[in-house]
């Protein structure tokens, strides 16, 4: 029997339906029955639906209450949530989705029709039933994962996280407002993730699993998929960083401040470290970064709904000061409050220190040679790398960084704005959510 | 000399003797010789966070004011998290702690002819996990506090050490409450909140409530309101009003006869609060020999009456050996009044203790390289 529990997220009370295995069996049976129907829906129809939904969310009257709730749940300010939400929704507009399909699949028709090619014809088929396992609370992944699942003509079961169970339901409801039949190809569920038998049931009855989130849950899902030979698409966890190789402009530095403010650094694409060419005047850079962070706070303030993240910043900051009190090559520049923290250190951060880099808390480390950066990321971050914000002109360095596992390089200030059709953790999701079929004619 | 001058002297001493604290002050542009001129300046005094004393941080020796050889003993927290705070104390600091604990006890003491407590004997508590650490004795802070409390010779200690594990002697508790049932004896009960609460909740399913009367009273201490203390976990958060109402109903003791004592390992005094039916909470009196500042989580400025924030404690005394003059603890408090207890008229600051700051590491698709939990998402 479906149980509704009330959860309190910083005074935002959310009704969370908790599914048991029998509820999930019913949901999955329904989705399975609709696989063929989902396959027959024109791609254009889904693109128009997502476009209309994104436009609803871009209407600030419509999104207002959701922004207020998400702010409390994620402990981000309303201004920041609105900025992030609008960025995500713009990605679902028709023009961007068309670009995405063309870039990822090479042909807008390939999902609907057999497309002629030199050997005959080629087509993309959906995997079938896709289980989206979302952990953590960077809500960017919800509309991205759902949109990809729908565009690729799959039926989709989305498991939300305990940290942020709200947005997926809200987004789902807005889709239902536009098209009731979306229920036939999309369901949102929550269950306690310690219930291994439910995971086992879901994965063994799915055709594909797409996972977003932490390492242990990723490993757990990977093992289950391996056990049942289910196609596994893995996203996260990741660490991103910036490299300032040439003299940065004020705009570059403002961009870095924006990169480290968005998502309060909880997203995979958020920078945790800035590697700074030692030839660049560090004092000037740190001063400009401080100014840029303070300026960013004026339009994207921090949310202070939650006691923990505020005191955590103070604790981590004090730990760093005390640990390095006899280190002349160490400096902390910070607000008096928990607003922002810049740690300047000749020593590159260890794992514990990288884990401190959330909520506008960043390491700035000088390098004499770019090989030091390559050596560090290779040794410490291999398998975790994603976005590199790069202020420089050295293509050889980009080549080396991407060989280590960096999957996307952007300008400072664009780390959170991956354009349609760019690499996502080294893969294309639409490509992974479908499989290529060929018809050889001769 | 009065609190302010004594505090100033203590802080200046800490600034001179503890390089770590001096560095923190320098980082904030604060100099206690220059910037501490009047009571209002107390709001700007930099604080050490209680977590900086954590064993895993490895900084507790840097937070001493002198040499390790001058330490009389290490006092450690009950380590609910598995990562205890370690505070080095001199003989003089222990004596000061003793003086303040006795003072606090005397202020709230109610005469008793009988007593039982959900604490073990002080010696058992102190010896539990006692060890030698950096050539000095290392003991539980709470054990040292309990050691100061004045118990009767015939006090029943319900928590007994058995094979290096503490066990509650439930039968002795049942005997105690049934012996005094309906007799309106001056019977005291107290000790660890989660154990007391857990026992009452279990017993009320099986035995009838008793009527101990208005001469009986309940005095708890040692925290544990989140249902956990050390290795004890009753699996549920305990609202203070619920504890009082449940226990009051079961034992037949008026709610106004409930008190609770608050302290933490990095502090040098205890602070007792009496329960208020009106506020449905304990009202803690800040003694005149200390100051408490409740700081807003966003601005870190002192909050107004009725508002909540982080608790910072200023100690003028009892921190000669460690940097405990100004400590911000990860507990949330609410200022009831800056001047007077609305219930009993005590002249001084009155606060409510809301509880420990709760939270988890940031999670999202950004990695925490220390690992995360499949059961946590």
Interface test with A, best of B334, B375, B377 (most A CBs within 10 A): B377
A75 touches chain B (CB under 8 A): no
The confidence score (pLDDT) of residue B223 equals: 80
ipTM of the complex: 0.90
Task: Answer left, alpha or beta for residue B162, where phi above 0 means left and psi between -120 and 50 means alpha.
Answer: beta
pLDDT in tens, A323-379: 999 999 999 999 999 999 999 999 999 999 999 999 999 999 999 999 999 999 999
Would you state the structure tokens that stand for residue A41, as one six-digit string?
């829906």
Q: Which of A132-136, B147-151, B312-316 has the lowest mean pLDDT?
A: B147-151
A316 touches chain B (CB under 8 A): no
Interface test with B, best of A145, A165, A215, A238 (most B CBs within 10 A): A215
The confidence score (pLDDT) of residue B377 equals: 30
Q: Are A194 and A162 in contact (CB under 8 A)?
A: no
* Gyration radius of chain B's alpha carbons: 21
End-to-end CA distance of chain B: 55
B358 vs A contacts (CB less than 8 Å): 307-308
Q: Does the pLDDT of residue B124 top 90, yes or no?
A: no
Give me the mean pLDDT over the B135-148 stretch.
81
Span A239-410: which CATH code? 3.40.309.10
B102 touches chain A (CB under 8 A): no
Would you state the structure tokens that stand for residue A384, as one six-digit string?
């975790």
As a whole number of angstroms, the distance between CA B221 and CA B238 comes to 14
The confidence score (pLDDT) of residue B374 equals: 28
pLDDT in tens, A373-408: 999 999 999 999 999 999 999 999 999 999 999 999
Q: Is residue A300 helix, strand or coil?
A: coil
The residue in chain B having the minimum alpha-carbon distance to the alpha carbon of residue A358 is B362
The confidence score (pLDDT) of residue A137 equals: 57
Return contacts of A92-95, CB within 8 angstroms, 24+ apart: A92/A50, A92/A51, A92/A53, A92/A54, A92/A143, A92/A147, A93/A51, A93/A54, A93/A55, A94/A47, A94/A48, A94/A50, A94/A51
Q: Are A385 and A373 in contact (CB under 8 A)?
A: no
CB contact under 8 A, A135 and B377: yes
The confidence score (pLDDT) of residue B187 equals: 95
Which residues 172-201 on chain A approach chain B with CB closer than 8 angstroms? 192-194
A16 touches chain B (CB under 8 A): no
As a whole number of angstroms, the distance between CA A361 and CA A264 comes to 9
B329 touches chain A (CB under 8 A): no
Q: Does the pLDDT of residue B235 top 70, yes or no?
A: no
Q: Are A49 and A182 in contact (CB under 8 A)?
A: yes
As a whole number of angstroms, the distance between CA B280 and CA A385 comes to 51
Q: Does the pLDDT of residue A23 top 80, yes or no?
A: yes
> Which residue in B357, B360, B367 is closest to A215 by CB distance?
B367
Q: How confident is the model at residue A231 (pLDDT cuts 50, 70, 90)?
A: very high
Q: Are B140 and B128 in contact (CB under 8 A)?
A: yes
* Gyration radius of chain A's alpha carbons: 23
Residue ranges, comma separated, of all CATH 3.40.605.10 domains in chain A are 3-236+425-440
B356 touches chain A (CB under 8 A): no
As a whole number of angstroms, the distance between CA A163 and CA B377 comes to 6
Our CA-based measurement puts residue A248 at a distance from the nearest CA of chain B, in whole angstroms, of: 26
Q: Are A253 and A341 in contact (CB under 8 A)?
A: no
B57 touches chain A (CB under 8 A): yes
Class at the top of the CATH hierarchy for domain B3-357: alpha beta
Listed residue (B109, B113, B178) closest to B149, CA to CA:
B109
Interface test with B, best of A160, A214, A260, A362 (most B CBs within 10 A): A214
Give me the mean pLDDT over the A164-171 stretch.
93
DSSP assignment letter at A359: S
3-state helix, strand, coil in chain A (%, to 5): 45, 20, 30
A236 touches chain B (CB under 8 A): yes
As a whole number of angstroms, the distance between CA A257 and CA A53 comes to 31
The confidence score (pLDDT) of residue A285 equals: 98
The confidence score (pLDDT) of residue B316 equals: 97
> Which residue in B49, B299, B376 is closest to A315 by CB distance?
B49
A383 vs B contacts (CB less than 8 Å): none
Task: Answer left, alpha or beta for residue B249, where phi above 0 means left and psi between -120 and 50 means alpha.
Answer: alpha
Angle in degrees, CA A82, A87, A89, rounded to 5? 95
H helix runs in A111-240, sequence order: 141-151, 166-178, 196-204, 215-228
Averaged pLDDT score across all residues of chain A: 95
Q: Residue A267, CB half-sphere, CA atoms under 13 Å: how many?
A: 23
Q: Does the pLDDT of residue B182 top 90, yes or no?
A: yes
CATH superfamily of A3-236+425-440: Aldehyde Dehydrogenase; Chain A, domain 1 (3.40.605.10)
The confidence score (pLDDT) of residue A15 equals: 92
Listed residue (A101, A140, A133) closest to A415, CA to CA:
A140
pLDDT in tens, A269-315: 999 999 999 999 999 999 999 999 999 999 999 999 999 999 999 99
CB contact under 8 A, A325 and B23: yes
Q: Residue B288, CB half-sphere, CA atoms under 13 Å: how many?
A: 9
Our CA-based measurement puts residue A21 at a distance from the nearest CA of chain B, in whole angstroms, of: 17
The confidence score (pLDDT) of residue A138 equals: 67
Averaged pLDDT score across all residues of chain B: 89
The confidence score (pLDDT) of residue B225 equals: 78
A415 touches chain B (CB under 8 A): no
pLDDT in tens, B73-95: 898 887 666 788 999 999 999 99
Q: Which residues contact B306 (CB under 8 A, 6 or more apart)?
A: B334, B335, B336
Residue ranges, comma separated, of all CATH 3.40.309.10 domains in chain A are 239-410
As a whole number of angstroms, the distance between CA B361 and CA B359 comes to 7
DSSP secondary structure, A259-289, as one string: HHHGGGG-STTSEEEEEEETTS-HHHHHHHH
Q: Are B354 and B308 in contact (CB under 8 A)?
A: yes
């Amino acid at each position: 029997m479906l149980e509704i529990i009330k959860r309190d997220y910083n005074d935002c009370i959310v009704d969370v339906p908790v599914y048991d295995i029998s509820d999930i069996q019913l949901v999955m049976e329904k989705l399975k029955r609709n696989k063929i129907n989902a396959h027959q829906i024109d791609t254009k129809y889904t693109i128009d639906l997502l476009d209309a939904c994104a436009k609803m969310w871009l209407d600030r009257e419509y999104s207002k209450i959701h922004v207020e709730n998400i702010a409390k749940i994620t402990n981000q300010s309303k201004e920041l949530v609105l900025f992030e939400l609008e960025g995500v929704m713009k990605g679902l507009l028709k023009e961007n989705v068309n670009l995405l399909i063309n870039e990822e699949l090479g042909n807008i028709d390939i999902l609907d029709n057999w497309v002629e090619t030199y050997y005959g014809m080629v087509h993309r088929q959906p995997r079938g039933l896709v289980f989206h396992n979302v952990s953590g609370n960077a809500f960017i992944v919800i509309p991205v994962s759902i949109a990809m699942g729908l565009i690729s003509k799959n039926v989709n079961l989305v498991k939300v996280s305990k940290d942020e169970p709200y947005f997926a339901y809200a987004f789902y409801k807005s889709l239902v407002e536009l098209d009731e039949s979306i229920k036939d190809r999309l369901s949102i569920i929550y269950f306690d993730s310690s219930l291994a038998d439910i995971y086992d049931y879901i994965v063994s009855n799915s055709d594909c699993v797409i996972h977003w989130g932490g390492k242990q849950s990723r490993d757990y899902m990977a093992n289950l998929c391996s056990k049942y030979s289910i196609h596994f698409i893995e996203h996260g966890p990741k660490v991103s960083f910036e490299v300032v190789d040439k003299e940065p402009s004020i705009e570059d530095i403002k961009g870095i401040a924006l990169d480290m403010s968005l998502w309060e650094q909880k997203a995979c694409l958020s920078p945790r470290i800035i590697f700074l060419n030692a030839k660049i005047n560090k004092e000037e850079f740190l001063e400009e970064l401080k100014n840029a962070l303070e300026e960013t706070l004026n339009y994207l303030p921090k949310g202070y709904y939650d006691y923990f993240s505020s005191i955590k910043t103070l604790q981590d900051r004090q730990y760093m000061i005390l640990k390095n009190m006899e280190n002349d090559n160490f400096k902390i520049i910070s607000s008096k409050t928990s607003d922002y923290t810049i740690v300047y250190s000749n020593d590159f951060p260890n794992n514990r220190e990288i884990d401190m880099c959330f909520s506008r808390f960043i390491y700035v480390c000088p390098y004499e040679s770019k090989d030091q950066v390559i050596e560090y990321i290779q040794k410490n971050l291999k398998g975790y790398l994603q976005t590199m914000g790069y202020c420089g002109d050295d293509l050889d360095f980009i080549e080396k960084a991407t060989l280590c596992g960096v999957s996307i390089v952007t300008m400072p200030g664009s780390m959170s704005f991956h354009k349609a059709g760019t690499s996502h953790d080294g893969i294309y999701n639409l490509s992974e959510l479908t499989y290529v079929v060929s018809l050889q004619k001769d | 000399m009065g609190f302010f001058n004594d505090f100033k002297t203590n802080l200046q001493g800490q600034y001179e003797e503890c390089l770590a604290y001096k560095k923190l002050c320098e980082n904030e542009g604060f100099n206690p010789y220059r910037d501490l001129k009047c009571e209002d300046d107390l709001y700007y005094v930099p604080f050490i966070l209680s977590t900086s004393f954590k064993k895993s941080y490895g900084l507790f020796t840097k937070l001493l004011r002198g040499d390790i050889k001058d330490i009389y003993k290490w006092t450690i927290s009950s380590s609910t998290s598995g990562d205890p705070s370690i505070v080095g104390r001199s003989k003089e600091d222990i004596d000061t702690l003793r003086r303040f604990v006795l003072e606090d006890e005397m202020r709230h003491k109610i005469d008793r002819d009988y007593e039982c407590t959900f604490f073990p004997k002080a010696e058992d508590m102190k010896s539990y996990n006692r060890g030698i650490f950096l050539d000095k004795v290392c003991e539980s802070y709470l054990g040292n506090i309990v050691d100061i409390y004045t118990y009767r010779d015939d006090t029943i200690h319900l928590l007994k050490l058995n094979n290096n594990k503490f066990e509650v002697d439930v039968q002795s508790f049942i005997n105690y409450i049934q012996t005094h049932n309906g007799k309106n004896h001056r019977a005291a009960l107290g000790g660890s909140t989660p154990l007391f609460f857990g026992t009452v909740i279990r017993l009320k399913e099986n035995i009838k409530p008793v009527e101990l009367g208005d001469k009986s009273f309940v005095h708890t201490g040692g925290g544990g309101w989140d249902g956990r203390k050390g290795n004890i976990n009753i699996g549920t958060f305990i609202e203070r009003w619920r504890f009082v109402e449940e226990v009051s109903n079961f034992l037949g003791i008026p709610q106004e006869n409930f008190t609770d004592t608050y302290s933490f390992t990095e502090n040098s005094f205890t602070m007792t609060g009496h329960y208020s039916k009106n506020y449905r909470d304990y009202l803690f009196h800040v003694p005149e020999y200390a100051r408490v500042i409740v700081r807003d989580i966003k601005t870190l400025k002192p909050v107004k009456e009725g508002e909540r924030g982080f608790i910072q404690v200023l100690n003028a005394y009892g921190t000669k050996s460690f940097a405990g003059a100004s400590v911000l603890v990860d507990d949330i408090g609410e200022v009831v009044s800056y001047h007077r207890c609305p219930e009993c008229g005590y002249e001084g600051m009155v606060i409510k203790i809301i509880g420990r700051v709760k939270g988890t590491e940031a999670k999202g698709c950004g990695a925490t390289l220390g690992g995360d939990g499949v059961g946590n998402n």
